[in-house]
Amino acid sequence: MCPHCYGPMKLHGSYPRHCLDENRGRHDGWVAQLCCAACCMYQSLKPVFLMSHKHYKAEVIEAVIADSEGGKNFENYGDRAADISTMRRWVRQFKVRGVWAVGWLVSTLFTVYELHIGSIELRGKTLLKQLGRLLREYPALKSGGILGRVNIILTTQNSGFL
């Protein structure tokens, strides 16, 4: 179903997409693209390990963010991950988008599922742990990384992505 108008979606085509792992190994694949018959909105069906506008797998990005939030120095990764400037950008973007995502997930839990998670329960936790806590309340998506599952929920609710 279309996340915008809830009309029927049908396969429109696909496009090639690659991603890089923690050792900079390249993995090629395809992403299916759907079109809504009612409102002509297009939606891509990305797997949970791909993030929009990112070349690296979601688990690589999530590991860098987790290390940063945990006080570890991700800048000592050497050749194992992305460039230092890229990892810094991931962390910087997540600090802004993560707060936004927490708000959208709390709002969606309340409006769609009539569940309420209080801010006191989330207080004192890192952004990644807040997102993980909120994800436990969603009925689906029990596998995959935190960032990938959050992106699926946000795009399904027409709220963007991390």
DSSP strands (E only) in the chain: 9-20, 26-36, 42-45
Angle (nearest 5°) at CA 3 between 126 and 130: 10
Using 50, 70 and 90 to split pLDDT, how confident is the model at 19?
Answer: very high
Strand partners, 27: 19
Average pLDDT score over the chain = 87
Strand order in the sheet with 42-45: 9-20, 26-36, 42-45
> What residues contact residue 111 under an 8 Å CB cut-off, 6+ apart?
none
Residue 28 lies in a domain: yes
| Beta-carbon count within 10 A of 58 CB | 24
Residue 4 lies in a domain: no
**pLDDT digit string, tens, across residues 65-106:** 999 998 888 777 766 678 888 899 999 999 999 999 999 999
Residue 52 lies in a domain: yes
| DSSP reduced 3-state for 80 | helix
Domain of 16? 9-156
Mean pLDDT of 3-27: 90
| Beta-carbon count within 10 A of 2 CB | 19
Count of structural domains within the chain: 1
Residue 2 lies in a domain: no
Residue 116 lies in a domain: yes
Residue 161 lies in a domain: no
Give the pTM.
0.83
Q: Read off the DSSP letter of residue 138.
A: S
Residue 1 lies in a domain: no
Distance CA 116, CA 108 (A): 10
Type and span of the H or E element at 114: none
Nearest to 86 by CA among 22, 27, 132: 22
Residue 103 lies in a domain: yes
**What is each CA distance from 38 to 7, 44, 95, in whole angstroms?**
6, 17, 37
Using 50, 70 and 90 to split pLDDT, how confident is the model at 158?
Answer: low
Please determine, for residue 160, whether its predicted confidence score (pLDDT) is greater than 70. Answer: no
